[in-house]
Homo-oligomer: A and B are copies of this chain.
């Protein structure tokens, strides 16, 4: 029963995703509402929920070489609505159209689940809207609530004998996420080169993949709990560690499965998206559990989670963008540090065990929602 629930959750929450979905959502919504002649447009009003606004604000738009909401709208005007979230496939970007649209675009941000509405005023009013949820496939809240009652020992039991179809998903995750790590991130973005081979490799591998995803590279990622960057952070530090040390495929698969289980558990105990950086705080805590298992076995997972809880919780999510790679570099450092430190329960938000640590981090994430408004104000007032 328990194991079947876990299997079902994993199948739904580890999903292949191409590009940051927010810009695809905007492009697709615009494509559904576009008039024949884009130069007939007098005004476009885009209504976005906070998360979509924040995450589309400066992320790379596939096939355009550009970043942010304007190219997503222009790409939508150029793309085919039939292509769904892959609306930018095969488009040829048009700079003139961007110039034309730029001053005719108005963006409103609302409080809502994933939402995008486009109202285009041309020869007549064209409208379309797309609603969504941040989890790729749908899982009932009943199942989620049951999953939330599980304990670390349930996850440990599960990874002792992983069903074949989950093993295959994890193998695919290794391949897909590793593939996103090339090319390495450019030196003019980050040229830190630590003389510690293990940590350096973990950081390079993880941040390169996040960077490539954020510039809109045409390669998929295996997303976990609704986020590509979270999937990368939950897996690549472990994959990189394995690569440079033991090369033990079987242990790697167990460690990655544990990481995914922990990441999903963390997401269910806070939310899919939040004002707190999920990649570091949910994907990162997954990587802590997986790596701790990989290196030390099951014995010090709880200690490592406590150390991580004493460390980066709170770090904000100010949207998907290349800068995420820096947050994740610090995340990888902190993941690694957690494996070699011990913090007593009396320290701040550190919980008495695995479950309480994750619940406490979730409480912090939920209390941070006013921070989202400040972030959105800052973004709106940027003079770009």
Q: Which residue of B lies closest to A373 (CB)?
A: B367
Q: Which residues of B contact A189 (CB under 8 A)?
A: 341-343
Within 8 A of B (CB), among A147-202: 188-192, 194-197, 199-200
Quick check: A367 and B370 within 8 Å, CB to CB? yes
Within the complex, the shortest CB–CB distance from A282 to chain B, in Å, comes to 14
User: Considering the chains assembled together, what is the distance between the CA atoms of A377 and B367 in angstroms?
Assistant: 12
Contacts of A373 in B (CB 8 A): 367
A371, CB-defined interface residue at 8 Å: yes
Label chain A's interface by main secondary structure: loop
* Residue contact B378 to A360, C-beta cutoff 8 Å: yes
A147 to B337, CA, bound (A): 38
Q: How many copies does the complex hold?
A: 2
Residue-by-residue, is A116-147 near B (CB-CB < 8 Å gives 1, otherwise 0)? 00000000000000000000000000000000
Question: Taking the nearest CB of chain B, how far is it from the CB of A335, in angstroms?
Answer: 10
A326 engages B314 (CB within 8 Å): no
Q: A310-B327, A312-B312 are in contact. Are A318 and B348 (CB under 8 A)?
A: yes
**Is the pair A347, B371 in contact by a Cβ cutoff of 8 Å?**
no
State how many angstroms separate the Cβ of A366 from the closest Cβ of chain B: 8
List residues of A whose CB falls within 8 A of some B CB: 54, 57-58, 67-68, 188-192, 194-197, 199-200, 275-277, 307, 310-316, 318-319, 321-323, 326-327, 329-330, 333-334, 336-338, 340-350, 352, 360, 363-364, 366-368, 370-371, 373-375, 377-379, 382-384
